[in-house]
């Protein structure tokens, strides 16, 4: 285990040195308890205490709109050229729930056929985690899915222990970049004790917010297909798709072609899509496999707590709470899980 220490007074210099190498983005306070990852060149604007940002860091791994290829159909044989757009980015201050979200995306996009647009872009992203010392708010359920503690998926991970950060160096690239800045020192025994104390304090503060142990979730979802809970949440949902757009693990996309005025050349793009939108499951011939909002809500929850458990052995919910915070119909993930748990027992 390679732990080093960065003094807090040196954070600004660290960010400045990093931004000399690549674009640096970090959580910034947007007012009214809203935060967003934005480009920074110093530590001045960085919010070290923040609740999950409006959009998760997935926006850098999987942009909302992304060009996939250029094409030319003017000749006898149509031509196309794949496009992969990326830049070197450091994302500073990723909380553990969002690191877990990135791990989910990595799994989904690493499946064959591999998604090289995603994977190449990911290789150009330098991830710096930041431990949340305090429970963020009542919308979160990170402890249920064990996403309140670091479980990898980063190059560097900083834990605030007072006047300094204890930094876990997790990759060669992390060690290289930390070394190049000349700002990190080897951690002493007292630093590791301070880290242990922080984690122990977290164990007291962060509680499982759902009235069931996570091991019962698969059983609950086994019984949940016909649950009246879906009718209840479906009757309130307005199908805006916000809950999936803000979700760090949602990765569904649509493709469209944009043709230029010459009617011969153009480009293919992919854009975020949402299973909560009415046309999502409509197929040729007009059949819609999830016409009702209740069916779409059920699908969203099954895609977090059932199908990925069977396929990847992990939940695709990180408990970040964004879907609850953003929902204009006040549909709460925790309340829905609690309702399913109650009727299943």
Q: CB of residue 95 vs ligand SF4: minimum separation in angstroms?
A: 11
Q: CB of residue 75 vs ligand SF4: minimum separation in angstroms?
A: 44
The DSSP annotation for 177-233 comes to HHHHHT-EEEPPHHHHHHHHHHHHHHHHH----SSS-GGGHHHHHHS-TT-THHHHH
Nearer CB in complex with ligand SF4: 11/243: 243
| Residues contributing to the site for ligand SF4 (CB under 6 A) | 237-243, 246-249, 276, 304, 317-323, 326-329, 331, 333
In order of 141, 263, 304, the CA distances from 47 in angstroms are 22, 48, 29
Q: CB of residue 222 vs ligand SF4: minimum separation in angstroms?
A: 19
C-alpha 53/C-alpha 35 separation (Å) is: 5
Nearer CB in complex with ligand SF4: 25/331: 331
Q: CB of residue 154 vs ligand SF4: minimum separation in angstroms?
A: 18
160, 131 in Cβ contact below 8 A? Answer: yes
| Degrees, nearest 5: CA angle 292-293-294 | 90
Q: CB of residue 102 vs ligand SF4: minimum separation in angstroms?
A: 12
Nearer CB in complex with ligand SF4: 93/241: 241
Nearer CB in complex with ligand SF4: 83/329: 329
1, 174 in Cβ contact below 8 A? Answer: no
Nearer CB in complex with ligand SF4: 52/266: 52
C-alpha 91/C-alpha 9 separation (Å) is: 20
């Amino acid at each position: 285990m390679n732990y080093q220490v960065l003094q807090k007074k040196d954070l600004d210099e660290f960010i400045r040195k990093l931004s000399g190498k690549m674009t640096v983005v970090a959580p910034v306070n947007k007012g009214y308890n809203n935060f967003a990852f934005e480009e920074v060149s110093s530590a001045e604007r960085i919010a070290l205490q923040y609740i999950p940002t409006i959009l998760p860091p997935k926006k850098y791994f999987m942009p909302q709109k992304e060009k996939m290829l250029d094409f030319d159909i003017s000749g006898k044989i149509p031509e196309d050229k794949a496009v992969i757009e990326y830049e070197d980015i450091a994302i500073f201050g990723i909380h553990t729930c969002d690191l877990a979200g990135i791990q989910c995306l990595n799994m989904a996009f690493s499946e064959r056929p591999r998604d090289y647009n995603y994977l190449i872009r990911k290789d150009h992203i330098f991830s710096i985690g930041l431990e949340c010392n305090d429970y963020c708010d009542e919308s979160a359920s990170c402890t249920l899915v064990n996403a309140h503690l670091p479980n990898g998926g980063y190059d560097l991970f900083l834990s605030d222990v007072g006047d300094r950060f204890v930094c876990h160096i997790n990759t060669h690239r992390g060690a290289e970049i930390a070394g190049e800045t000349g700002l990190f020192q080897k951690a002493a025994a007292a630093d590791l004790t301070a880290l242990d104390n922080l984690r122990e304090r977290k164990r007291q503060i962060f509680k499982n917010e759902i009235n069931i142990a996570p091991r019962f979730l698969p059983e609950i979802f086994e019984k949940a297909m016909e649950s009246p809970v879906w009718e209840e949440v479906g009757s309130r949902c307005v199908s805006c798709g916000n809950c999936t757009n803000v979700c760090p693990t949602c990765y569904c996309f649509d493709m469209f072609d944009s043709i230029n005025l010459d009617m011969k050349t153009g480009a293919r793009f992919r854009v975020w899509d949402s299973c909560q939108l009415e046309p999502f499951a409509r197929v040729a011939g007009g059949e819609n496999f999830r016409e009702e909002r209740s069916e779409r809500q059920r699908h969203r929850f099954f895609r977090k707590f059932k199908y990925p458990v069977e396929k990847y052995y992990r939940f695709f919910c990180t408990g970040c709470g964004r879907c609850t915070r953003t929902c204009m119909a006040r549909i709460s993930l925790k309340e829905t899980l609690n309702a399913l748990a109650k009727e299943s027992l």
